[in-house]
Structure 1
Amino acid sequence: MLLTVLCLLSLRLLNTNGEPCPNPAKHCSSETFNVVFPNVGCLGCQGGCEAGYIMTSNPNVYRETTAPMGHYMYKGLPVPNNKNVSEPQWLCNPGDECHAGFFKSAMMGHPSCEWCGEGCSHCSGFGHCTRCFGGYKTQIHLSHGVATRKCLPGTVFCPNRTEHCTHKIFVLESAGCLGCQDCEDGYMVTFNPLYYSYHGGHYDYKGLTIHDGRNVNQPRHICHQGTTCPDGWYEIHHAPVSICEWCGLGCVRCGGRNDCRECKHGYTLEHSHCLLDSHIVG
């Protein structure tokens, strides 16, 4: 029934005059829906993607507003206040798998990845979250006897923004700033060695008591550009995310956290660890 409604809506839109999207989605199978439609916004790649890409809903299409039921004008066309006309509703991401925070679905017969909802890393459908990103808390809501699970955001943002992260990042009392747990395409979640730089003892940060002196200015994970880990890091896979973990101080190649194979200049490899030459007693 829903698919029938969507098809009818698409046919109606095709007969409606629109304007090209200001930032059209890329790798669409056609430009049919890369148009700003009145009372809808920019649909992007709703008609499907080129081979090697999968349709993915774009959470950035929604924007916060005090008047969600109203509209604003774009080149003479009304756009709902809660829609960002500069963001296509459907994008084409490389590959055939969904990012963390999205679930497999189908749109008009095309395989697609749909958003789980803010802060959710794993779900069975929108509003049915099974796991939240760090910094969010699961909330169970009952409506007409049906339970839904959503993720409530933390209260304090990390002071330094993590570029190319797909979700918001918050400070935790127990761990400081966890940083990014899912990065944009072309970037890998990568451990930040500076996360171990201590602030010194327990301290207060914007009403939170940070334990173990974690420096909230240094997120645990950041986004490194590339599809492989840099020298000094090794890859582990936690479906659907691959993470670059640190080999350790002075190590440039390893098989794991305590399995260094090669050290940088100025260090000596001993028992799978790198020791600073100046600390080695002859």
Structure 2
Amino acid sequence: MIFTFVFIVGCAVSIHGQKAPCPKEVDHCIHPCSVVQTFGNQGCNQCADGYLRISNPKHFNHSAGFSFGMQNYKGVQVLVSQSVTEPQYYCTKGPLCPDGWYRLVEEGELLCSGCAPGCAKCSTRDVCDACRDYCVLSSGKCTKCT
């Protein structure tokens, strides 16, 4: 119960909290990029016409795991598991997502999200249409990946 309260308060603070300009702007993005308290480099929240937002798997520092440790970027406190250099979202030439990604509508906006590991083409995160060369497709899943 206490953890939930702390997490909710932390989210509320970060939405209205500190932010700083990103180290590098995202190409084809309409609005300036910001590094936001707790969540790091938000990347692009709206791409120019002819481009789709795509999630960036490099944004999350998987080696840090989910950690409450903080890093400081220009006076903004960011979780060590979130990147300040890699944007959470960037823009890719639309209207189709690149291989390894699928189209997803999130909050009324079309974006590209990543397929499951080992999947080369998918229609949703959990339904793979073609696997990478090192995996075998079985009932919409990539298995026996070597």
Q: TM-score, normalized by length of structure 2?
A: 0.72
* Bigger helix share: 2
Aligned to 1:180: 44
Distance 2:139 2:56 in 1: 24
In structure 2, stretches of 5+ residues that fail to align are 1-13
One-letter identity of the residue aligned with 1:219: P
Aligned to 1:167: 31
The CA RMSD measured in Å over matched residues stands at 2.7
One-letter identity of the residue aligned with 1:246: G
Distance 1:161 1:276 in 2: 40
Q: Runs of 4 or more off by more than 6 Å in structure 1?
A: none
One-letter identity of the residue aligned with 1:207: G
Correspondence 1:262 to 2:126: no
Distance 1:217 1:271 in 2: 38
Q: Structure 2 residue aligned with 1:190, among 54, 59, 67?
A: 54
Instruction: Provide, for residues 1-56 of structure 1, a one-character-per-residue CA deviation record: whole Å limited to 9, x for no partner.
Output: xxxxxxxxxxxxxxxxxxxxxxxxxxxxxxxxxxxxxxxxxxxxxxxxxxxxxxxx
Report the 3-state secondary structure (helix = DSSP H, G, I; strand = E; otherwise coil) of the residue aligned with 1:194. Answer: helix
Correspondence 1:202 to 2:67: no
In our comparison, the structure showing a higher alpha carbon Rg is 1
Structure ranking higher on relative contact order (CA contacts 8 Å, 6+ apart): 2
One-letter identity of the residue aligned with 2:56: N
Distance 1:207 1:228 in 2: 38
Residues 211 and 272 of structure 1: CA distance in aligned 2, closer, same or farther (over 3 Å): farther
Residues 274 and 220 of structure 1: CA distance in aligned 2, closer, same or farther (over 3 Å): farther
Is 1:167–1:182's contact at 8 Å kept on the other side of the alignment? yes
Q: Structure 2 residue aligned with 1:226, among 94, 116, 138?
A: 94
> How high is the sequence identity, in percent, across the aligned residues?
30
Distance 2:72 2:26 in 1: 22
Distance 2:37 2:142 in 1: 32
**How many Å apart are 1:272 and its aligned residue?**
4.8
Q: TM-score, normalized by length of structure 1?
A: 0.40
Q: Structure 2 residue aligned with 1:245, among 108, 113, 137?
A: 113
Give the total of aligned pairs: 129
Distance 2:23 2:121 in 1: 32
In structure 1, stretches of 5+ residues that fail to align are 1-134, 138-152
Distance 1:275 1:215 in 2: 31
